[in-house]
Amino acid sequence: MKIADKYILKEFIKGFLLSLIGLLAIFIIVDVFEQISKFVDKEVPVLVIIQYYFYLIPWIIGTTISPIACLLGCFISIGNLSRYFELAALKFSGLSPYRILLPLLIAGLILSGLTFGLNETLMPLTNQKKLLLEEEKINKRPERALNPSKNIYYSGKDNRFYRIKFIDPKEGIIQGLTIYEFSSGHTLEKRFDAPKAVWKDDKWELFNGSERIFKTHSFEDIYFNSLVLNIREKPLDFVKLRKPPLSMGFFEFKRHIENLQRGGEDITKELVDLWTRISFPFMNLIVILLGFPLATKVRNIGFIIGFASALFVSFIYWGLMQLAKAFGHTGTLSPVLASVLPNLFFIIAGAFLLWKLRK
């Protein structure tokens, strides 16, 4: 690696970290002011609040501010090189704008991989800890698991997937139970439907339901007044604090979606969120294509105007991403298109600006 590459990377990393810390501080301060009344009303200790926001940091970075910090880092580093004529010196030494851009693209690609890794490993763990902390020490509801719940989807043991309309764990009663039983090869073998199920003598008894047995090219329905099933899940297992999607890694969330699909559920919204987990980290790379041409013009347009332009671009990206997701959730756009549309828009815009830069 040339000395120029190392210098450009050093300046970019400094700008990226400065932007990341600044954006993180702004995000947390704004959120604290929004929730301060709740913290005061519930008499939440300061250490618990600090712990809560500590757990929140991976989510903030991995799903919100990393591309913005990357864009601002690119602008700050290249903008300063332009302001102090260092960029011109690099060009006079024989480096083309595209060659100057190369180490930034490599850095953006690495940051994309790190963001995906963060969202796959650390973020699900800290998000689950945040939810438990919020439930027990902020909302102060340690007995939540004993309260009735509804609309539960549960991936259980013995290759079974449960859909429950209503459950009272204290009484051990379920209203509206559907059980999907799969083979080891994930083929649906049986489906149980019962309007009522009761936990009795450490077993679940289903009433006035049906058992559908799936065969190669047909199925057979067996109706029953009462059926005792050997289910290892107890009432409290179904109502424990369940993992939301952000507490699952990509592959765990993908398996969850497959279970929902096998159960006949509409998975449009979940598929959009799943594909977004792949497309979002690559924004760290794509925004550099857009930020680099803007940063090279700092000496002509002024640092403040250029910096404001970079922030404006960040807001456009965020708004476009939310708009595309909304259209994806409603089914107007396909899940894949809804997740990659902001990336495609920015790639085209960045390519155009780079082409103009060459001229």
Instruction: Supply the pLDDT for residue 142.
Output: 54
Instruction: Supply the pLDDT for residue 173.
Output: 92
Q: Cα–chain-centroid distance for residue 82?
A: 36
Tens digit of each residue's pLDDT (9 = 90 or more) over 84-97: 777 778 777 777 88
Instruction: Supply the pLDDT for residue 301.
Output: 67
Nearest-CA neighbor of 72 among 340, 309, 301?
A: 309
Query: Residues with Cβ < 8 Å from 42, sequence gap 6 or more?
Result: 138, 139, 140
Other CB atoms closer than 10 Å to residue 287's CB: what's the count? 28
Instruction: Please state, in angstroms and rounded to a whole number, the distance separating the CA atoms of residues 134 and 141.
Output: 9
Here the tokens at position 79 are 């903008």
Regions of the chain where pLDDT drops below 50 = none
Domain boundaries, the chain: 3-121+270-358, 143-246
Instruction: Please state, in angstroms and rounded to a whole number, the distance separating the CA atoms of residues 75 and 95.
Output: 19
Tokens 């708009």 — which residue? 323
Instruction: Please state, in angstroms and rounded to a whole number, the distance separating the CA atoms of residues 156 and 256.
Output: 11
Instruction: Supply the pLDDT for residue 166.
Output: 93
Tens digit of each residue's pLDDT (9 = 90 or more) over 282-331: 989 988 888 888 888 776 666 677 677 777 877 787 788 888 888 988 88
Q: What is the pTM of this model?
A: 0.73
Strand runs (DSSP E) across the chain, as ranges? 149-155, 160-168, 173-182, 188-200, 203-214, 219-229
Residues 353, 67, 340: CA angle, nearest 5 degrees: 75
Torsion of CA 72, 77, 80, 81, to 10 degrees: -140
Q: Which residues, in sequence order, are bridge partners of residue 180?
A: 161, 191
Instruction: Supply the pLDDT for residue 1.
Output: 54
Q: Cα–chain-centroid distance for residue 55?
A: 15
Instruction: Please state, in angstroms and rounded to a whole number, the distance separating the CA atoms of residues 15 and 12.
Output: 5
Instruction: Please state, in angstroms and rounded to a whole number, the distance separating the CA atoms of residues 87 and 314.
Output: 24
In CATH, the architecture of 143-246 is: Sandwich (2.60)
Here the tokens at position 183 are 């083979």
